[in-house]
């Protein structure tokens, strides 16, 4: 079952091409890491997939009415700033809006989804704290929880682990794997290639205005791709504890 299908997508911003010719399909049960150097177009690609930025080509999500799209895909933007001084529980409950009718109050199943999301992000003790007064990483976790509470088949998250401590980076990626094990899928832009190879089932490398590679981490993070697109060398080995990837040197 396809949860997202992009065909020949291209975006130009202020007359400057960002990328073109991007086609891909995300099926059920995937954790897809969207990787590429700064400015490669990862954010723009996810926003185009959601219909949030004008694009040519086709996205299976972009043309849906906003409410239907919000029931199919949850979006966590790159900016982890929280605008309103509401408590964490209220913030996370906002993720349930697409499931509620106009004027309908929160139902037991919405509370259950909120509780589950708070627990997945380890936020139970912070649920009554004012979200804007949390630390940066705590605010990020609250926003991930809001995205999870939306309980959609697909999650698109833009650098959701940026700014988290190592334990929360790992547990957030593991949470995405758990979601995938339930048949949902996650597309996550990520700069930490070490965590990407350990937790993503598939990597998509965007660079130089095109989709350079799409496949298993070992097939995408080849020495050639690392040199040509990131300008680095790396140590990448399989160990009994799983794959270990360590960037080593800048090559240019
Ligand atoms: N509103 C905008 N107007 C003009 N150009 C933009 C706009 N937003 C982004 N761009 C440009 O589009 C390109 C892709 O940006 P994008 O944020 O998608 O990259 P990214 O891969 O997510 O980068 P990063 O890893 O730094 O977050 C960049 O060159 C950026 O300068």
pLDDT in tens, 186-213: 999 999 999 999 999 999 999 999 999 9
Q: Give the mean pLDDT of 54-76.
A: 95
d(Cα 233, Cα 252) in Å, to the nearest integer? 10
* Ligand 1 centroid – CA 45 distance (Å): 10
pLDDT of amino acid 79: 83
Mean pLDDT taken over the chain: 95
Check if 15 has its Cβ closer than 6 Å to any atom of ligand 1: no
Of 59, 65, 61, nearest to 73 by C-alpha is 61
pLDDT of amino acid 252: 65
pLDDT in tens, 67-116: 999 999 999 998 877 888 999 999 999 999 999 988 889 999 999 999 99
Length of the chain: 252
The four Cα atoms 4, 208, 10, 28 give a dihedral, to 10 degrees, of 0
Domain architecture of the chain: domains with CATH:
2-78+152-250 (3.40.50.300)
Answer yes or no: is the ipTM higher than 0.95.
yes
φ, ψ dihedrals at 73, nearest 5°? -140, 130
* Ligand 1 centroid – CA 116 distance (Å): 34
Check if 46 has its Cβ closer than 6 Å to any atom of ligand 1: no
* Ligand 1 centroid – CA 216 distance (Å): 26
* Ligand 1 centroid – CA 130 distance (Å): 31
Of all protein residues, the one whose alpha carbon is nearest to atom 5 of ligand 1 is 13
């Amino acid at each position: 079952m396809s949860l997202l299908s992009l065909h020949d997508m291209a975006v130009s911003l202020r007359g400057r091409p960002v990328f073109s010719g991007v086609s891909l399909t995300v099926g059920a049960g995937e954790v897809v890491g969207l990787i590429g150097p700064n400015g490669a177009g990862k954010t723009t690609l996810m926003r185009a997939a959601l219909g949030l930025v004008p694009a040519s080509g086709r996205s299976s999500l972009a043309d849906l009415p906003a409410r239907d799209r919000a029931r199919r895909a949850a979006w966590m933007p790159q900016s982890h700033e929280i605008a309103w001084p509401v408590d964490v529980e209220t913030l996370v409950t906002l993720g349930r809006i697409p499931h509620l009718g106009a004027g309908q109050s929160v139902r037991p199943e919405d509370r259950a989804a909120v509780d589950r999301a708070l627990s997945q992000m380890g936020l139970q003790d912070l649920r009554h704290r004012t979200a804007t007064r949390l630390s940066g990483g705590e605010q990020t976790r609250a926003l991930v929880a809001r995205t999870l509470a939306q309980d959609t088949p697909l999650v698109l998250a833009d650098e959701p682990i940026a700014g988290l401590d190592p334990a929360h980076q790992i547990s957030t990626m593991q949470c995405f794997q758990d979601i995938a094990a339930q048949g949902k899928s996650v597309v996550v832009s990520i700069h930490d290639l070490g965590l990407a190879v350990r937790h993503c089932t598939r990597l998509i490398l965007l660079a130089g205005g095109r989709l350079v590679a799409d496949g298993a981490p070992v097939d995408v993070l080849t020495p050639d791709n690392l040199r040509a697109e990131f300008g680095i060398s790396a140590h990448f080995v399989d160990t009994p504890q799983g794959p270990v990837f360590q960037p080593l040197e800048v090559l240019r």
